[in-house]
Amino acid sequence: MISGETREALTVAMQNDEFRYAMEGHQDIRGHVVLSEGLLALGVVFTRLATLAVTVHDDFGGGNDPAPEHDFGALVVDGVPVFWRIDLYDPDLVHAPRDRTDPDQTMRVLRIMLDAER
């Protein structure tokens, strides 16, 4: 039997994955993507490679994703360590969502950044 807490984590993980997979369109999962200044400073090609790498990231073992919600990842893009994380908010982008599993009540903010900017 799956506990309520585990079910919530699995639901949030699936929604976070869906958000990342459809990052450019977001489809049914609402949110924003924020690229750090350091990442942007590496140029348009690097930024695109990093964004694509985050979209397809699926290594959630070890130090990645300590809260099993697929809300954090560390990867290397063209030799540069890149980190990403997803934070969940109410649609007002100020408070925590009332129900993290309800995509209508939850706004995701995906930040992609360099190691020094974490």
| Rg, Å, the chain Cα set | 14
Q: Write down the pTM of the prediction.
A: 0.90
Contact partners, residue 108, CB within 8 Å, separation at least 6: 15, 16, 19, 29, 30, 31, 32, 86, 87, 88, 89
HSE-up of residue 29 (Cα within 13 Å, Cβ side): 25
Query: pLDDT in tens for each of the 118 residues of the chain?
Result: 566 678 999 999 999 999 999 876 657 788 999 999 999 999 999 999 999 999 999 888 777 777 789 999 999 999 999 999 999 999 999 999 999 999 999 999 999 999 889 8
What is residue 116's predicted lDDT score, i.e. its pLDDT? 86
Asked if 83 contacts 118 with a C-beta cutoff of 8 angstroms, the reply is yes
Query: What ranges in the chain are assigned the alpha helix state H?
Result: 4-21, 37-41, 44-56
